[in-house]
Structure 1
Amino acid sequence: MSSLFKWYGSLGLATKQFIYLFVFTLFLVLVLAWRNFHDSEKLLHNQVVRDAELLVGRTNQYIDASLDNVENMLLLLSTRSDLLKEGNEETALDTLRKFADYNNSIAKTLYMVRSDGKVFASTQVNFEIIGNPHLPELYKLALENYGAINVSEPYYSPMSGHTLAYVLPITDARKQVQGVVVAEVNLDLLTERIAPMIYQSYVLFTQSGNVINRLDSRDKMLPVQPAVYPQVLQESFQKQLVTLKVGVSRIEGNSLKPLVAVKSTRNRLGWSLAAFIEEDYFYQDLQKLNNNYRDATILWMVALLFSAYILSRSFTNPIRRFVEKMDRLNDVQVVAKLPVTRSDEIGRLTQSYNAMLERIQNLLQKTKSAEEQKKEYELKMLRSQIAPHFLYNTLACISSLAKQQRIDEVRETIRSLVKLLSFSFDKQSEFVSMEEELEGLRMYMYIQQVRYGDQYQYELDINPGLLQYRILKLTLQPLVENALFHGITPHHGGLITIKGRIEKSMFRLYIRDNGIGISRDEIGKLLNEEFDQARSKYRFTGIGLRNVHDRIRIHHGEPYGLRIRSAHGVGTIIRVTVPVLLENEEHLGIWN
């Protein structure tokens, strides 16, 4: 993946834009095509399922209507108790034949069973030859629910084949049971009438899962038991029929092929009708739509390739010409502005480029001016490193100590003065380590303490790990000198504390004194170049706060320098902020 991004990054702008436009648009087209195809598939699926639900509902209504016809026949025959009387046998047989022949019913064989066991059938000759062993059970079934029609489970009858029976008691005027009327349903005829109404396959089954209709031997969708005729559903599939929810659900058919099952509500006999549709059926009509999408996608890809190429070239050619003009520029000091000949984005880019050249020239001038100012401050610092009054007073102090025979103090004072002068005159580098800066401060404070006694005290609170960092030479000494003669001396003594910390990735030094403090108006003037401090005759270097502040900013930039806070009568705190630099990082200024 990284190599792919690397390869893409090495391409030209025109090629990148071409690839991006092509890939993005192609992806968008494919997503839209897939979504439309998916929506079409879903729409077709829902339409077929809705049609199937409608057909199942209507088929279920037809089954109820057909069964109503059988029930009406039974109700009419149940009122003819006179047919069961002695001597009316021929009338009974003739009535049964008429009901069986002249009614458009799915009833195949009608029986009237007298209480003494005498049986009359609509096809009496066949019954006398073949018989029907199920009649005693059907007689008992009719008496189980007195006065109402009962329906048996499906069974095989010698007279009617695969059938089920409607049974109803026959009573006389005194409500005495005289016999039972039985109608065996022609399930084959029911199957023939239902089959054209369903798309592919269906099953009509009872609450216990017994299949009512005869299965079509040509049906390859539903799993059946092998080597059984007539065909019988596998028990596992038959059990699933009972658990199917009303409406649309999914079930596995023959060879585990997925089927969509549409199940109706139960009719008043507790029967349910389930129609089955192969899922592959939904995709057959989508093949033509799929081919149309494929052809349209190919044409779109060709058109997209051409249009993306033309579009990318129209963008990049003006930019290439603009780059060629820019490459002709060699010296930014002497720059001829590019002519603006367009009013579009390229023209605005040319205007921005011309404005950028002007800003670069102004920045170069400011940089040059800052460098000159830096050199000026350096010369100013070197010229004012030694104040004559400081040398005069220090030598006078040494002479006084010599007269008092304080040889050790004379020797230490001279040593401190020599080191201090060497530290000040050393021009090898403007940067020193924090340890060297503190050593120079120590020598300065020793001389001042020898001259003025213990009224000048100072403390250091700097972690030894910070002594390796580099700062500008003579950064602390002028600040301590300012605290001595403007804060502590008018206060007749005091303490100066110097702390060092690393805060927010910057090196910060805090110089605090407990002198007389500075008013708010004076603080605003201290770092203002218009109100630079007058040099005190007591100063060693003569370098004021403004000088230190400017030197830091010249070397390191605007975020660095001095911040002063003071309270009158309490003291003053000066915060020095410089970057964290090691010896090999001194050259890392704002100009690099």
Structure 2
Amino acid sequence: MVRKFLLSKSFSSKITVAFLLVILISTLFISLSFYWESNSILKKNVRKSTIQIAKQTGESLSFIFNVGIDTSDFISSDQNIQRAALQLKSSTPYEQTRNSQYINTLLNNFVYSNSFVKIVYVLKEEGSGWGSGTFSEARFKNIPLSDQEWVKEAKRKDGELVWQGIQYDDFSGGGNNTDLTLPVGRVLKDFDTLSNIGLVQVHLDGRSILNTIGHLKLGKTGKFFVVDNEGRIMIDSHLDRINKKVENPDLFRHVVGDNHAEFEFTVKGVPYYGVKEPLSNGWMLVGTVPIHEISGQLDRLQSWILFSSGVFSMLAICIGLFIAGRVTKPVKQLTQIMQRVQQGDLKVRTAVNSSDEIGFLSKQFNNMIDEIENLMQQVKSEQSEKHHAELRAVIHRIHPHFLFNTLSTLRWLIDSNQNNRASLVLSALTHLLEANMGKSGSIIMVGEELDIIQKYLVILELRYEKKFNLELDIEPGTEILPIPRMLLQPVVENAIFHGIVPKNTDGRISIKIHSNNGDLEFLINDDGLGIQNDKLKELNDPETAVKNGEIGIGLRHIFDTLRLYYALNWEWSITSGPEQGTTVRILLKKIVESATKH
């Protein structure tokens, strides 16, 4: 049945298929184009934003790390600390007390002066040392310092920094209030002998570091963490993952094995998007998020597009069948009557009494049959006028053609229903012609020119069914200065025709008029398509453009007006760029002084 419907030659099947194809194709094309473009833009913007967030966060973390590095460098280079550590056992009790006070004060000053430094320690392996804040020497003595992995690594690196993952401070005496810190340590050296005389350990504020990466959001479940160059997790909100290597081998390979800032990997069959940013201490900030959290809304949009396409298709079929039925019924009646007339029955008449074009055609058809019948009667009764009767019959046979053209014009007027619009255009045109045909001659005031432009814009808005916003910035007093008629209107006209209308959107035109040292300057700016560089170069050399015939009528009028009225006392320049709008500058020199004198 469907195949028979599609293969049918009837008008109803054709118009139904046409409605279906128009609605379905346009809906699918627009919807899918929107989906693909939105998907591309969304992914691009999300990835760009994620990289920017990672970069900014990396800079913040690097700043915190650099604070720890600078603090460690300063303490390691302090000669008083070196001397106290070197002479700890050989100094007198008084000197030990004085050194301890100095070092403790210095370490506490570091903590108080920088919000990112939580605790600072200067330690000796034999069980003595100094520390800021809640440093517990009793706890320190119970911990074999030489067995600590960071101490061993600090000795191997011989003065270079040793970074540890985020952890609770082992030497704090704060009890349950032990601080969460990120330690960075190194050996303390005697600058004279370069021998190790102790250890320096700076503890950065772990809570601030976790807050720095904890506030970042990637989708709903995405997160950031920090790994070292071996793929071990050093900073993570889940402390049980600290010092453990990245479990997912695909993610581990991207983190450690390549230099790409962006990558994709899978976790249990779920695709993930990842981004990484190097930090100042050699570590890497890594962010991961499931891809579906980035583009999930677009997937739902695609399903909605397919569903809506199906609904619109059914709606197109219903509308097509309904309209086809309303249109074809009177057409079929008229066709049947025409067939009977073709068979020679001139007594039949159509009974279509609708007020639309088909009803009008039916009435004209009846009139045509009446006239044809009368002509045939005349042919039979007046043999002497046979030749003229045949001529009249031929003339009447071409009436349908004339009728078709007339009906087409009438249909356009009836369908468009533009009586009010035509009245508004005519009214605006009347006012514009009245302004242009005024009695003020070829010289008018600036205010009159602006009034003409405003009336002209009314016509253009009605013609193109667009809104052209006119912004005026007129220096008081300049509106009464005399200028040649139609000096600014062609610029506005060009801005609309060549700049704004091709964009098929509303537009903006601004006119700024001000005086400076007797000169009167006009700046006309639009937000249109702009002018290509080669064409712009031609327009900024009007004399050459006129010679070569490369300038339009409007700008030619302005150039001739300036040349004839102001000799060499004028300037003209045009600045523009593709998709950047256009600004036309006209400068009339000494016109304000001249007008004042007169």
TM-score, structure 1 normalization: 0.45
Task: Specify the structure having the higher radius of gyration (Cα).
Answer: 1
TM-score, structure 2 normalization: 0.45
